[in-house]
Amino acid sequence: MLIAIPDLLNPAEVRDLRARLEASPWVDGKVTAGEQSAKAKFNLQVPETSPVARELADRILRALGTNPEFISAAQPLRVYPPLFNRYDTGMKFDAHVDNAIRGVTGHNLRIRTDVSATLFLTPPEDYDGGELIIEDTFGTQPVKLPAGHMVLYPSTSLHKVAPVTRGSRWASFFWVQSMVRDDGERRLLWELDTAIRRLRGELSDDHPSVRSLTATYHNLLRRWAEL
């Protein structure tokens, strides 16, 4: 399931993040790559232990915690603290699959990567190339979203970042361990929740159809959730 989530951050929030990142040190992106993906990865990252990275990651986590579309689509149990990368002209990340398990730096905690996320921080007109290209059962999808918008996709997907041919592409990226491990089950829950929210707008929360569908949603979540 590939889902675009608009306006996780507003333009002012994006500008502030960019200003903080511009003043931060950057290192080779291979520092967070596995053995195989390190051979394919050519970008820069803000060190995840830097105070700026942690502060900005907390801002994004707060935005995620109040975004109903993210919660509905990802069913988050744990979220890896967001990281920050940039692709300058000539940089790319060849096709790879994300590591299945990631340890959280500085914590005795590991998460299973069920959902991958990219939050775009550069307007698409400011750079050429740099598309996030995702291959899965839904086909091959190039993704290049406005700044402040985010895309979610299964971490099992083969994906890459096309070479940047002009400008610089900045983004935040992270992973989610979902309460619902199976992508097909997550999609059904998201579709059902989307329909329920639409019906609530057209009818009311106490309409019999809304109550019935809401009960079905929670009973499915109860059946499929792993805590």
Residue ranges at the known binding site for Fe cation: 96, 98, 159
Identity of the amino acid at 211: R
Long-range pairs for 58-64 at CB < 8 Å and ≥24 separation? 59/13, 59/17, 60/8, 60/9, 60/119, 60/172, 60/174, 63/8, 63/9, 63/13, 64/8
Phi-psi region of 50 (alpha: psi -120 to 50; beta: other; left: phi over 0): beta
Closest CA relative to residue 154, chosen from 173, 175, 170: 175
Annotated binding-site ranges: 96, 98, 159, 169
Cα–Cα distance between 25 and 32 in angstroms, integer? 16
Residue 214, SS3 per DSSP? helix
- Beta-carbon neighbour count of residue 100 at 10 Å? 12
Known binding positions for 2-oxoglutarate: 169
Extract the tokens encoding 196: 């329920």
DSSP state of 79: E
The neighbour count for residue 48, using CB atoms within 10 Å, is 19
